[in-house]
């Protein structure tokens, strides 16, 4: 019998989670230049699949080549991308039954940049590895950057179709859930935020207009993915900048998404403007998740500097969120959920090959595999 909140099972849009620990999407910038996963993804996702977390989310995967942040991003826009991902997933699934979600994304004006460990600067359109970016309006992310092209009706329709096509590929790959990337200043967030969206058509101005394109993309993905599987959305709860996207607007967006069949809201923040002032600290985004949680009935996921077991437990037990997501902490310690289970006297599934590693003092830690 589970005693801790962190290890209580939860159903998200029909997907059964064993506990409340989910692995956040993390770009690896290690795909080939056509957006295909490589052996690195097998290693990276392979070891996270053995972590004991309830859900593994594949990194931001671009729905078209120009939607990649860097030339090393994963894509899910071509048959080759799909085949490369199938190869990785086949291996992961051979050794782990962890449910796997994918984050579908378009970077908009934050595309065409160098890999972070090579400086992350914007790459000019006419350079190798660079391309023309697009956005809601022609405002660049940072001063001095090449301006994006404002999307016209035809290009917006193409991007909606690209999201749907990637969702169909995700369905063919047997992925368990889709998370649409509406956060961190990427394309859909660029439509939401008045700091990036200066349109004067039906997609700019009022909150209703700014939400229109992201909601259309949600509908397109929802329609393209099996109804029995969840489609969730990752939002930025605030831009942390004057005149930007707010938590009140995030709540309204979350309610609109819920009404359209969104299965969970994952609440992050920031990323839209270099002018952001983020009050960084443990659990700094949890109040944003709490505000959304109080306004919707679907599960809410909190993320951001959640690193300690009791801290994670408190996020769930207080009702601030239904799940916690881990990014850096689980890269640093891929057995974080094992250690959390040991801490709370709970159990996790371990691969047969590792059963002998169970520490003497935690005799119940490794649970038998379900029949
Ligand atoms: C290496 C790395 C890659 C990331 N890539 C993505 C991504 O693909 N999509 C996304 O929404 N967030 C991405 N993030 C943000 C994380 O998902 C997470 O929201 C953030 O790191 C805060 O959580 P943490 O404090 O547990 O790391 C990335 C973070 C890291 C460290």
Q: SS in 3 state form for the chain? A: CCCCCCCCCEEECCEEECCCEEECCCCCCCCCCCCCCCHHHHHHHHHHHCCCCCEEEEEEEECCHHHCCECCCCECCCHHHHHHHHHHHHHHHHHCCCCEEEEEECCHHHCCECCHHHCCCECCCCCCCCCCCEECCCCCCCCCCCCCEECCHHHHHHHHHHHHHHHHHHHHCCCCEEEEEECCCCHHHHHHCCCCCCCCCCCCCCHHHHHHHHHHHHHHHHHHCCCCCCEEEEEECCCCCCCCCCHHHHHHHHHHHHHCCCCCEEEECCCCCCCCCCCCCCCCCHHHHHHHHCCCCCCEEEECCCCCHHHHHHHHHCCCCCEEEECHHHHHCCCHHHHHHHHHCCCECCCHHHHHHCCCCCCCCECCCCC
CA-nearest residue, atom 1 of ligand 1: 26
Which residues have CB under 6 Å of ligand 1?
24-27, 59-60, 103, 181, 183-184, 234, 268, 303-306, 326-329
Ligand 1 centre distance from Cα of residue 272 (Å)? 15
CA-nearest residue, atom 28 of ligand 1: 26
Closest atom, ligand 1, to C-alpha of 329: 26
Spans of the chain below 70 pLDDT: 1-2, 370-371
Active site residues: 186
Closest atom, ligand 1, to C-alpha of 330: 26
Ligand 1 centre distance from Cα of residue 180 (Å)? 14
- What pLDDT, on a 0 to 100 scale, did the predictor assign at position 368? 73
Pocket residue to mutate for ligand 1, from 25, 37, 283, 329, most atoms within 8 A of Cβ: 25
Ligand 1 centre distance from Cα of residue 5 (Å)? 24
CA-nearest residue, atom 4 of ligand 1: 26
- What pLDDT, on a 0 to 100 scale, did the predictor assign at position 371? 57
- What pLDDT, on a 0 to 100 scale, did the predictor assign at position 1? 55
Ligand 1 centre distance from Cα of residue 326 (Å)? 8
Ligand 1 centre distance from Cα of residue 59 (Å)? 9
Closest atom, ligand 1, to C-alpha of 285: 22
């Amino acid at each position: 019998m589970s005693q801790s909140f962190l290890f209580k099972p939860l159903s998200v849009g029909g997907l059964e989670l064993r506990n409340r620990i989910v692995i956040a999407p993390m770009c690896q910038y290690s795909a080939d230049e056509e957006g295909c996963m490589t052996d690195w993804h097998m290693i990276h996702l392979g070891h996270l699949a053995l972590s004991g977390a309830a859900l593994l989310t594949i990194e931001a995967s671009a729905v078209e080549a120009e939607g990649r942040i860097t030339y090393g991003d994963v894509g899910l826009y071509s048959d080759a991308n799909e085949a490369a991902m199938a190869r990785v997933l086949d291996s992961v699934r051979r050794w782990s039954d962890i449910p796997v979600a994918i984050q579908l994304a378009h970077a908009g004006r934050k595309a065409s940049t160098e890999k972070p460990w090579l400086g992350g600067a914007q790459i000019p359109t006419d350079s190798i590895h660079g391309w023309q970016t697009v956005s809601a309006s022609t405002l660049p992310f940072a001063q001095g950057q090449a301006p994006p092209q404002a999307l016209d009706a035809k290009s917006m329709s193409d991007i909606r179709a690209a999201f749907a096509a990637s969702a169909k590929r995700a369905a063919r790959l047997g992925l368990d859930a889709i998370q649409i990337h509406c956060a961190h200043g990427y394309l859909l967030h660029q439509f939401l935020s008045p700091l990036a969206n200066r349109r004067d058509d039906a997609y700019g101005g009022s909150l209703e207009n700014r939400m229109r394109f992201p909601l259309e993309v949600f509908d397109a993905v929802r329609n393209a993915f099996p109804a029995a599987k969840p489609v969730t959305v990752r939002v930025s709860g605030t831009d942390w900048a004057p005149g930007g996207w707010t938590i009140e607007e995030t709540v309204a967006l979350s309610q609109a998404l819920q009404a359209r069949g969104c299965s969970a809201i994952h609440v992050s923040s920031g990323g839209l403007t270099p002018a952001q002032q983020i009050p960084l600290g443990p659990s700094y985004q949890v109040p944003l998740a709490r505000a959304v949680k109080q306004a919707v009935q679907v599960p809410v996921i909190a993320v951001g500097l959640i690193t300690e077991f009791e801290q994670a437990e408190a996020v769930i037990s207080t009702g601030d969120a239904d799940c916690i997501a881990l990014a850096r902490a689980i890269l640093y310690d891929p057995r974080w959920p094992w250690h959390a289970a040991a801490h709370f006297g709970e159990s996790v599934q371990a691969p047969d090959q590792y059963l002998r590693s169970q520490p003497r003092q935690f005799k119940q830690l490794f649970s038998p595999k379900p029949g």
